[in-house]
């Protein structure tokens, strides 16, 4: 990516987490008509976005037939959008039930990104939501599945991510690993150790600190985490949360917040990453309410705090 990025041209993509893959009538986004896809893309452009991440919780591009994939890519172009990144969710390559299937799918994601000219992909080691998580207002307030504290599984994860990294390098794609609670990237220290164990130039950390500061439990201060992961940060999911801690009872309460209002100072966090040469795209996210519109305000906040031209 160009080193002359500044606040006016930095790629800032809309996340599609507010759009479900399964529609209320029981059909899937996978099977929508081009006109229906175009209508959703129009909502993204109406919110002022010029970039989109076709997140696979919304549409699994890697599972589309080639003819349909070409149609989708044409619609994105016609909408005036580009795709600087492609994120996956809950497709862990060490999933106890779907590990091999998810590994094969991840290879397809890399090939799909290369075919569409998408320069970055994001993978994670987090699993599908549990029943209690699905029942909760905010899924992160219920306990999810935990990566096993097992050296053999850690090694399998490292080996499989390195395999994907080699593939990504062959086709000119960067690979970002998403920080997420109770996974091998669930703390800053563990995320750094994991990426160092993978030891591949195509691999970095998706410093999604929002996934951690939202937890109703003690967590490391965001600034300390960011200092540790900043040298490894690439394609970056950004979102924020209100967080309050009662030291007398230990109670922690969090809720989604627009990027500039939450507990993480992204002005400071981005400065840390820029000091280490960060030049990847951002993906703006927000859970709850009109997530797309809040993401649009998050985009404008980033435009105000990113470096000026020249």
> How many other C-beta atoms lie within 10 A of the C-beta of residue 116?
17
Q: What percent of the chain has pLDDT over 70?
A: 99
What pTM, to 2 d.p., does this model score? Answer: 0.96
In this structure, are residues 191 and 180 in contact, taking their beta carbons and an 8 Å threshold? no
Angle in degrees, 0-180, between the axes of helices 222-229 and 188-198, rounded to the nearest 10 = 10
pLDDT at 232 over 90: yes
Q: Which two tokens stand for residue 2?
A: 């160009």
CATH code for the structural domain at 12-305 = 3.20.20.150
What pLDDT shows up at residue 3? 57
d(CA 158, CA 196): 10
pLDDT digit string (tens) for 91-132?
999 999 999 999 999 999 999 999 999 999 999 999 999 999
pLDDT at 246 over 70: yes
pLDDT digit string (tens) for 165-193?
999 999 999 999 999 999 999 999 999 99
Nearest CA among 148, 120, 67 for reference residue 234: 120
In this structure, are residues 85 and 112 in contact, taking their beta carbons and an 8 Å threshold? no
Q: What mean pLDDT is predicted for residues 216-228?
A: 98
Q: What mean pLDDT is predicted for residues 73-80?
A: 98
d(CA 250, CA 116): 48
Q: What mean pLDDT is predicted for residues 237-242?
A: 98
Nearest CA among 267, 256, 265 for reference residue 291: 256
- How long, in residues, is the chain? 310
In this structure, are residues 94 and 147 in contact, taking their beta carbons and an 8 Å threshold? yes
DSSP 235-300: SEEE-EEEEEE-TTT--EEEEEE-TTTSSS-HHHHHHHHHHTT----EEE---SSSHHHHHHHHHH
pLDDT at 310 over 80: no
Which residues on adjacent β-strands are paired with residue 233? Answer: 205
pLDDT at 1 over 90: no
**Domain ranges for the chain:** 12-305
What pLDDT shows up at residue 2? 44
């Amino acid at each position: 990516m160009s080193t002359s990025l500044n606040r006016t041209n930095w790629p800032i993509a809309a996340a599609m987490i507010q759009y479900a893959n399964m529609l209320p009538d029981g059909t899937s986004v996978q099977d929508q008509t081009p006109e229906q896809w175009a209508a959703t893309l129009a909502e993204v452009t109406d919110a002022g976005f010029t970039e989109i991440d076709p997140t696979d919780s919304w549409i699994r591009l890697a599972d589309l037939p080639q003819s349909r994939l070409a149609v989708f890519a044409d619609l994105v172009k016609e909408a005036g959008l580009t795709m600087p990144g492609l994120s996956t969710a809950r497709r862990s390559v060490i999933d106890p039930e779907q590990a091999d299937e998810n590994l094969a799918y991840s290879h397809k994601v890399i090939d799909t990104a290369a075919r569409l000219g998408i320069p970055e992909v994001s993978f994670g080691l987090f699993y599908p939501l549990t029943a209690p998580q699905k029942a909760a207002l905010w899924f992160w307030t219920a306990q999810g599945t935990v990566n096993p504290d097992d050296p053999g599984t850690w090694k399998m994860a490292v080996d499989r991510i390195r395999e994907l990294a080699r593939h990504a390098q062959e086709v000119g794609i960067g690979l970002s690993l998403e920080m997420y609670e109770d996974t091998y990237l669930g703390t800053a220290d563990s995320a750094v150790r994991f990426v160092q164990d993978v030891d591949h130039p195509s691999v970095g950390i998706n410093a999604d600190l929002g996934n951690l500061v939202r937890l109703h439990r003690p967590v490391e201060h965001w600034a300390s985490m960011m200092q540790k992961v900043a040298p490894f940060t690439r394609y970056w999911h950004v979102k924020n949360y209100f967080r309050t801690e009662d030291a007398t009872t230990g109670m922690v309460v969090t809720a989604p917040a627009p990027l500039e209002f939450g507990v993480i100072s992204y002005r400071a966090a981005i400065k840390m990453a820029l000091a280490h040469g960060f030049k990847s795209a951002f993906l703006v996210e927000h859970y709850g309410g009109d997530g797309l519109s809040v993401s649009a305000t998050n985009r404008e906040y980033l435009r105000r705090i990113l470096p000026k031209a020249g």
